[in-house]
Structure 1
Amino acid sequence: MNDTVSVISKDRLHQCAEIFSAARKSKSCLDSLPDAIKIYDAEEAYSVQDQVAQALTASFGPIKGWKVGAPTPESEPFCAPLHRATLFSGDTKLPEGLCRLYGVEAEIVYIFRKGLPFRETPWTQAEVCDAIGSAHAAIEIFDTRFCKAGSQDGLVHLADQGNHGALIYGPGISTWQELTPVTEHVRLVLDDQIAMEHAGGNSAGDPIRLLVWLANHAAKRGFPLEAGTVVTTGSMTGTKFVPARTTAKVEIGSLAPVSVVLP
């Protein structure tokens, strides 16, 4: 009986992954998943993520980054792998057709200088911090394979690569330890008009906790953090949906600003 249930579950999750992959290839959107397909927990959502990631490798390139976040400073983090084709360094004009929706978020990115492969003993905070090479101001573009943002259960959106569209990060600083992410001044500018300005704002609190969790989680999933891995650590501004041809700029503390022109 348990084996039968396991086979049915794998088939259900595989169907879900195929639906997401097909939506990306056709650049169409989904109203919802079929009634027979449901994501019951985070483990199943990550299983779908893995299958979609494998399917996208041919067209989007290898996994070179991650997004990680949490609803509160104490809650279990969540994450999604990011492909090379969705990562952009420096001020960027986003390629036509990459994203369907443009939800702009200001975030802090960390780039690792050393890899953290799988091992039986969990990576410690000190070891993870030693592996970080730089910090960067960044813009994540929220996108979704569904026609309406936020229309599905949270686990479904998690399975959908955590609503990732694109990530644009600016020049970095190696003295990242000097940052205080929970109190850094954040400004989001849209078409030369200040849309948001405040201190801190990341619901997860200190992003270092997220990076430690991710280092161990990613290694267990078979996608360990490698030298050069780009990790974005959650929105400091929430999501601001904007129309095409908007220019967005993010400024965070002493980090160099970064901008993106949306096609």
Structure 2
Amino acid sequence: MTLDIDAAAAALLGARRSGTRLDALPEGARPGSEAEAYAVQDAVARALGPVAGWKVGAPSATATPARAALHADTIFETERLPASLFHVIGAEAEIAYRFGRDLPPEAGPYDRDAVLAAVATLHPAIEIADTRFATFGAVDAHSQRADQQNHGVLVLGPGLIEWRGLDPVTQRVRLTLDGQIRHDKVGGNSAVDPVRLLVWLANEGARSLGGIKAGQVVTTGSCTGTDFVTAPSRMTADFPGLGSVTLAIE
């Protein structure tokens, strides 16, 4: 059966616009492969407008990464957001890279040095995991991939220009939730090395939507796992040497 990409995208876009949550994607519109999941994700991304950033991650040091395109309406530099934005609130402390120049796919392939040379600033970040489905994580993995890989919002802390002395693999991170330290560790990213994710995104992951472009920010997966909280909640992700970011959801 041929996947109905338009029907899948329409269902996800309708859930975003109305706030109504889906039990599942419609019959005939449920992706059965990574390629189909990305086709739906890309259709949603094109409908939402220009790509302002990306999320990318991997479950291990050798696993193929996964990505989702992000848009300006879910990327913030703020310390406060309304609880009405969210269905669920999954707090994640992350490291994000803002690019200072384009990496067009046709000019690749890019190696590690070339990708890092295009980075302008490094940011402490909090991603809030959320879903357009009724229950977080209840649908199949391909449907979750199609749904922007469970992205809610991305909140950025101040950008660090002199970041090259920082090693994300050995970077310490502390996540505080409502005044209690929930995580305090070194590294913590399941992909181990976030830069590998950036290289994959530049060469493969971002290709179908025009590649990485100047001004886009790429967040590279949680260093702390996902902690689900209820509003009101206040959280701080602190990366010594990089900076910190605080978000209150009320």
Aligned partners of 2:80, 2:91: CA distance in 1, in Å?
14
State the shift of 1:94 in Å.
1.4
Aligned partners of 1:121, 1:88: CA distance in 2, in Å?
30
Contact 2:66–2:205 (CA<8 Å) still a contact in 1? no
- Say yes or no: does 1:132 pair with 2:124: no
Matches within 5 A, 1:27-66: 27-57=19-49, 62-66=50-54
Residue identity matched to 1:71: P
Secondary structure of the residue aligned to 1:63 is coil
Contact 1:218–1:225 (CA<8 Å) still a contact in 2? no
Contact 1:69–1:210 (CA<8 Å) still a contact in 2? yes
Residue identity matched to 2:233: T
Provide Cα deviations, 1:114-167, integer angstroms capped at 9, x if missing partner: 111121641222211110111111000000011111111111111100100100
Secondary structure of the residue aligned to 2:52 is strand
- Say yes or no: does 1:67 pair with 2:55: yes
Secondary structure of the residue aligned to 1:210 is helix
Contact 1:185–1:197 (CA<8 Å) still a contact in 2? yes
State the shift of 1:207 in Å.
0.7
TM-score after normalising by structure 1: 0.90
Aligned partners of 1:109, 1:24: CA distance in 2, in Å?
25
State the shift of 1:203 in Å.
0.4
Structure 1 194/121 Cα, relative in aligned 2: closer, same or farther at 3 Å?
closer
Match of 1:116 in 2: 103
State the shift of 1:219 in Å.
4.7
State the shift of 1:191 in Å.
1.6
TM-score after normalising by structure 2: 0.95
Aligned partners of 1:168, 1:115: CA distance in 2, in Å?
22
RMSD: 1.5
Equivalenced residues, count? 250
Aligned partners of 2:222, 2:207: CA distance in 1, in Å?
25
Provide Cα deviations, 1:213-241, integer angstroms capped at 9, x if missing partner: 10122552133211111000000111101
State the shift of 1:251 in Å.
0.4
Deviates more, 1:143-152 or 1:32-41: 32-41
State the shift of 1:95 in Å.
4.1
Query: Which residue of 158, 176, 184 maps to 1:189?
Result: 176
Q: Percent identity?
A: 45
Secondary structure of the residue aligned to 1:49 is helix
Contact 2:108–2:203 (CA<8 Å) still a contact in 1? no
Query: Which residue of 164, 176, 192 maps to 1:177?
Result: 164
Secondary structure of the residue aligned to 1:158 is helix
Long gaps (5+) in structure 2 = none
Query: Which residue of 6, 19, 23 maps to 2:11?
Result: 19
Match of 2:149 in 1: 162
Residue identity matched to 2:75: L
Residue identity matched to 2:189: N
Long gaps (5+) in structure 1 = none
Deviates more, 1:29-38 or 1:125-134: 29-38
Query: Which residue of 210, 220, 231 maps to 2:197?
Result: 210
